[in-house]
């Protein structure tokens, strides 16, 4: 009860308070029935959702909302740590200890030998340090890609695959080379579409995948994130289409009765707002 009293009377909360809050919610006797019902698997989906909401706030540059979304994501971290503590796996202090140790070890140019290196050089060293950590732990890694979670969304996985391959030198040397490859893949897609039959539907899908895969690498080479780029396009399209719908309603018309030329007129009008 003292934890509850402390939390409800405070005017400003600190890190320890969110840990205490989770203890209260998961209390076997006086805790919340919903929170007591949860486990790692049931919470995992919420964790992913909160991570996407953080990314969404960043994409929209909604920094006031970002504060709340980061808080929701932090709550998920505390939740998993509490579940782990109940199962005698580890607790939040072990999580903090582990990540701080890891970051110190992976930044030797900061914490060991003071050295100014570029961001690109740090990425290369990071991967080398990770490989050494695996060897030291006795972990057998027969592929660079073994560390990539199988549950990653396809776009994220494509970015990770191509980024890791690039750290080993398997990459196009410049932007022009990527454009050349992209055009090559588009021509191959066009060819399969023109010759489309029941026998080559898989080939069309393959070529579509190759175009998308190459485009993702182009976006990476330009130092952008595919998810953020696509989300911005989604937001822009949604905004304009909603305006299109509004203009049509204001003119007393039904969108389903309009021709493509009529729709194009309203689309161009929405782009001027």
pLDDT digits (tens, 9 = 90+) for 7-16: 888 889 999 9
Residue 140's Cα: distance from chain center in Å?
Answer: 27
Last residue of a domain, one of 90, 117, 136: 90
Last residue of a domain, one of 64, 90, 116: 90
Number of domains in the chain: 2
CATH code: domain of residue 11: 1.10.287.1080
Same domain, 85 and 152: no
Q: Is residue 137 part of a domain?
A: no
Whole-number pLDDT of residue 140: 66
Q: Is residue 244 part of a domain?
A: yes
Distance CA 271, CA 263 (A): 13
Range of the domain at 209: 148-270
Residues 6 or more apart from 255 whose CB is under 8 A from it? Answer: 245, 248, 263
pLDDT digits (tens), the chain, 273 positions:
577 777 888 889 999 999 999 999 999 999 999 999 999 999 999 999 999 899 889 888 899 999 999 999 999 999 999 999 999 999 999 999 999 999 999 999 999 988 899 988 898 888 889 888 888 877 766 787 887 888 888 999 999 999 989 988 899 999 999 999 999 999 999 999 988 766 677 899 999 999 999 999 999 999 999 988 998 899 899 999 999 999 999 999 999 999 999 999 999 999 998
Is-contact 273 243, C-beta < 8 A? yes
The per-residue pLDDT of the chain, averaged, comes to 91
Q: Is residue 194 part of a domain?
A: yes
Where does residue 248 rank: exposed (0-12), middle (13-18), buried (19+ CB within 10 A)? buried
Same domain, 79 and 164: no
Same domain, 159 and 249: yes
Q: Is residue 117 part of a domain?
A: no
Distance CA 26, CA 77 (A): 14
Q: Is residue 251 part of a domain?
A: yes
Q: Is residue 122 part of a domain?
A: no
Which three-class secondary structure state does DSSP give residue 192? Answer: helix
């Amino acid at each position: 009860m003292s934890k509850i009293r402390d939390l409800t009377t405070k005017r400003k909360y600190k890190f320890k308070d969110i840990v205490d809050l989770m203890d209260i919610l998961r209390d076997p006797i006086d805790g919340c029935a919903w929170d007591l019902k949860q486990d790692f698997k049931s919470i995992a989906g919420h964790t992913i959702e909160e991570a996407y909401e953080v990314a969404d706030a960043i994409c929209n540059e909604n920094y006031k909302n970002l504060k709340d979304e980061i808080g929701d994501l932090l709550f998920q971290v505390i939740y998993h740590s509490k579940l782990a503590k109940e199962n005698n796996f580890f607790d939040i202090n072990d999580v903090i200890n582990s990540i701080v140790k890891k970051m110190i070890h992976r930044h030797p140019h900061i914490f060991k030998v003071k050295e100014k290196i570029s961001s690109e050089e740090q990425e290369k060293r990071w991967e080398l340090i990770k490989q050494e950590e695996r060897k030291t732990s006795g972990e057998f890694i027969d592929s660079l890609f073994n560390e990539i979670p199988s549950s990653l969304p396809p776009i994220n996985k494509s970015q990770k695959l191509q980024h890791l391959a690039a750290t080993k030198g398997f990459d196009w040397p410049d932007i022009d080379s990527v454009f050349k490859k992209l055009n090559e893949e588009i021509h191959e897609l066009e060819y399969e579409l023109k010759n489309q039959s029941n026998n080559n539907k898989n080939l069309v899908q393959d070529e579509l995948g190759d175009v998308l895969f190459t485009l993702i690498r182009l976006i990476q080479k330009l130092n952008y994130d595919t998810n953020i780029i696509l989300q911005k396009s989604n937001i822009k399209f949604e905004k304009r289409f909603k305006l299109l719908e509004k203009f049509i309603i204001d003119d007393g018309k039904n969108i389903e009765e309009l021709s493509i030329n009529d729709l194009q007129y309203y689309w161009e009008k929405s782009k001027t707002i």
